[in-house]
Amino acid sequence: MGELQDRVALVSGGSRGIGFAVAEELAAAGARVAVTARAENRAVQAAEALGGAGGRGYGCDVTDGEACTALVERVDDDLGPVDILVNNAGITRDNILVRLKDEDWDAVLDTNLRGAFHMMRAVARGMMKRRSGRIVNIASVVGLTGNRGQANYAASKAGLVGLTKSVAQELASRDVLVNAVAPGFVETEMTASLSEDARNALFERIPLGRFGQPSDVAGAVRFLVGPAASYITGQVLVVDGGMVM
């Protein structure tokens, strides 16, 4: 029996990359997992590919607050009340500051920061009422350090850290634990277009001598939503092979 037996987990952006690895890991630990993405068919396919306790796929754009509320109600009907929320949906629209367009700023902040706010607000009441719940927000090391060419993305992830700590303080008295995981460079579709030169330069900065894999992040999320992390809230767990110390 896995440590998340009978738990219901909701993973935004779970159709591929880090989100899919998280969904797989939580399902392997016994949770029934609701996997979401804008592309409903891909979310459904991903859910069908889960092992363990399995789950269901849903289309939901996290930038739409009403859609997030409706999603949480659907998951409640289909699988049961959400015990675990992983805010993983995220995008990049990289450019240097002077070339950054308003729409690049808005798209990244709306998805990465406002989306997490929508989802947390949608699950918070239920978790508070049940006096139990875990929320993990997938931030990034660039939210801690900044990064040239990623002002919008770094701002969204730094904002997510502030959001995490604030909500952790609000929900702590109800035993709802809220933490963030900050990955370094992880090989997914998001990072696949990086030039060879940029990859090599990054590689030099990773003490563990390898790029991160989605499963590296998933293991940290499994820890934070499991029984071993019952006294941890408001923290940012960096998963980056030692790149930022």
Instruction: Tell me which residues touch ligand NAP (CB under 6 A).
Output: 12-13, 15-19, 36-39, 42, 61-63, 88-91, 111, 115, 138, 140, 183, 185-186, 188-191
Nearer to ligand NAP, 116 or 177 (CB): 116
Token output for 26: 């939580």
The C-alpha atoms of residue 241 and residue 205 are separated, in whole angstroms, by: 9
Q: Name the residue with tokens 């995490």.
A: 164
Query: What percent helix, strand, coil does the chain show, rounded to 5?
Result: 50, 15, 35
Q: Name the residue with tokens 């993990």.
A: 136
The C-alpha atoms of residue 110 and residue 134 are separated, in whole angstroms, by: 23
Nearer to ligand NAP, 43 or 229 (CB): 43
Nearer to ligand NAP, 131 or 205 (CB): 205
Q: Is 153 a catalytic residue?
A: yes
The C-alpha atoms of residue 135 and residue 181 are separated, in whole angstroms, by: 11
CB of 223 to ligand NAP, least distance (A): 17
Nearer to ligand NAP, 131 or 235 (CB): 235
- Which residue out of 86, 153, 163, 188 is catalytically annotated? 153
Who contacts 210 (Cβ-Cβ below 8 Å, separation ≥6)?
A: 241
Q: Which of 54, 40, 46, 42 is nearest to 8 (CA)?
A: 54
Nearer to ligand NAP, 83 or 240 (CB): 240
| Alpha helix ranges (H) inside 56-213 | 65-78, 102-109, 115-130, 142-145, 151-171, 196-204
Q: How far is CA 242 from the centre of its chain?
A: 20
What is the largest distance, in Å, between two alpha-carbon atoms of the chain?
Answer: 54
The C-alpha atoms of residue 15 and residue 39 are separated, in whole angstroms, by: 8
Catalytic residues: 153
